[in-house]
Amino acid sequence: MSYICIFFSGYVSNISSSVDIEQTKLLKQMILSCFRSFIEAFPIKTSDISLIEDLHISLSQPFNLRYFLIKPFLSQLKTTCSRIEALSSSVAVVNQCRLLFNNQRSRAFMTLKVIDTSKYLEKCVLHIDEVMKEYNFPVYYQPPIFHIR
């Protein structure tokens, strides 16, 4: 994990941490292996499956960010995230698959479990949730389920 970033897809946004490029190939292979096992157990159309190019660890729920709020939100988020100390080597990825669904249960995501031994990700989420609350956006899931997707 190298830095915290925010993804905009239209106005639907998500705060996440990037995954180290060198680890991406191995992690994608692990996720594909999970998919193969899942498809064998529950036959689905493979045309409905797509692999996310930029693997990441989500640190927020998706939220709708209106255009006029982008600059103040990012500014406040930057200030808040500057209080977060640098990551130590306390975050580990486990070859354990999880199938997670969005809130509407209209999309499923095959993910890899992340173990946060020093509670670093929880600290990040607490800081990010401060900003989310000020804008009346949803806070992170409780209990947190950290994962790579």
Q: What is this structure's pTM?
A: 0.79
- Whole-angstrom Cα distance, residue 22 to residue 24? 6
146 SS3 class: coil
Residue 2: per-residue pLDDT: 43
Tally of structural domains, the chain: 1
CB hemisphere CA count around 11 (13 angstroms): 10
User: String of b and e for 115-129 (b: at least 16 CB within 10 Å)?
Assistant: ebeeebbeebbebbb
What single letter denotes the amino acid at residue 82?
Answer: S
Q: Report whether the peptide linkage leading into residue 43 is cis, meaning its omega lies within 30 degrees of zero.
A: no
CATH of the domain at 140: 3.90.1140.10
Q: Which residues contact 96 (CB under 8 A, 6 or more apart)?
A: 112, 113
- Structural domain of residue 56, as residue ranges? 4-148
pLDDT 10s per residue in the chain (149 long)?
445 566 555 667 888 887 776 677 788 888 878 877 777 777 666 666 666 777 888 899 989 888 899 899 999 998 988 887 766 556 777 778 888 888 888 877 888 888 887 788 898 899 999 999 999 999 999 999 898 88
